[in-house]
Amino acid sequence: MKTPLLILALAAATLSTAAAQTQTAPTPAPAAPAGYQEMLGATIQEVMSTGDAAVLKELAGKLERAATVAPQDWLPRYYQSYALLIATFQGKEDGDVKDRQLDQAEAALQQARRLRGDESELLVLQAYIYQARLGVAPVTRSMQYAGKVNEALADARKLNPANPRIYLVQGNNLYFTPKMFGGGAEVARPVYEEAKARFAAFRPATPNAPGWGERQLLGRLAAYQQPAGPPQAASK
């Protein structure tokens, strides 16, 4: 269980893209100092383009600083949480250290919630944090956290079924469940396909709003076309 989760995180961290965020969607920024949006955007780009735990923790610090520049903006807290989460997946620390880091990620997420951020996105991130909690002690936690992941994703879907990241995280869950027991690549595929369709229709509300995951998804879907991919995929 642990290894697939790590691979998943690695993929998410290294393949995530901020490409979607650069698309122009000129929305008026909240009252923040000039240059804030650009600085935040550049920091988000950095988060999305690294898989180094130490760099991610540095960037989480920078995002915390950004939160003091615009105390009413939920996005720096959201990305702070995201950076800490990916840093946890990437880190080699023991379980207690990881749990503490996830506590910090969750604290940042709570702050983003209090600022009334996009609840559907926040729930997806919460589900992702639960997956990380599960990965810390899979044997004792799988029962408790597997349910929590599904619940958070279901709530996210209720709020905004158009959020493509719901299907990405759900697809990953299925992808790493063994094939003979109801999971596997082929079962995950329609969920990934749905994610693809949702990504195609998705436009972030603002340039810096959450938009990660598409490149990871395309990487996953590309694997189905390769001859070394799952046998069912190869035969078709």
Partner 1 sequence: MKLPLLLLLLLTALRLAAQPTTLSGTVRDAAGQPLPGANVFLKTTFDGATADSLGRFRFTTRQTGALPLLVTLMGYQPQEQPVVLDGQPHRFTLTLKEVRNQLGDVTITAGAFEASDEKRSTVLTARDIVTTAGALADVNGALNTLPGTSRVGEEGKLFVRGGAAGETRQYLDGLPLQSPYSASVAGVPARGRFSPNLFRGTVFSTGGYSAEYGQALSAVVGLNSYDLAPETQTGISLLSVGLSLSHQQRLARSSVAVTGDYTNLQPYYGVVPQRFGWTTAPQAAGGSVALRRQVGRAGLVKVYGAATRAALTLRQPDPGFDGGRPVALRNGNQYLNATFRSPLRRGWSLQTGLAGTGDEQHIRPDVQRVHELEQSLAGRAVLTNDSAGAYWNLKLGAEGLRQRYRQQYQAEAAAPVLRSGFDETRVAAFAESEVAFSNELVARAGGRAEYSRVLGRWNAAPRLALAYQLGEGTQLSGAWGYFYQTPANDLLRFGQYNRALRFERAAHYLVTYQRIQQDRTLRLEAYYKDYAQLTRYAAPALTGDVPLPPDPASYQSTGRGHARGVDVFWRDKQTVKNLDYWVSYGLVDTRRQQRQDPVPAVPTFASRHNLAVVGKYWVSRLHTLVGGTFSYGSPRRYHDPNQAGYNQGRTPGFQDLSLNLSYLTSIRRNLTIVHVSCSNVLGRDNVFGYRYAPAPDATGHYPGVALTPSAPRMLFVGLLISINKKRPADTETAPE
Q: Is 157 in the site for partner 1 (CB under 8 A)?
A: no
CB of 77 to partner 1, least distance (A): 13
Residue among 22, 52, 95, 219 that touches partner 1 (CB under 8 A): 95
Span from 111-119, 120-128, 141-149, 157-165 in contact with partner 1 (CB under 8 A) = 141-149
Measured CA to CA, the distance from residue 214 to residue 197 in angstroms comes to 11
What is the largest distance, in Å, between two alpha-carbon atoms of the chain?
A: 57
Distance CA 169, CA 172 (A): 5
Query: What residues between 20 and 49 interact with partner 1 by CB under 8 A?
Result: 33, 39, 43
Nearer to partner 1, 30 or 219 (CB): 30
Backbone angles phi, psi at 22, to 5 degrees: -80, -10
- Applying CB under 8 A, what is the total number of residues that bind partner 1? 39
Alpha helices in the chain (DSSP H): 2-15, 19-22, 36-48, 53-69, 75-90, 95-114, 119-136, 138-159, 164-175, 185-201, 214-225, 231-235
110 lines the binding site for partner 1 (CB under 8 A):
no
User: Which residues sit at the interface with partner 1, rule CB under 8 A?
Assistant: 1, 33, 39, 43, 57-58, 61-62, 64-66, 68-69, 94-96, 99-100, 103-104, 107, 136-144, 146-147, 150, 177-178, 180-183
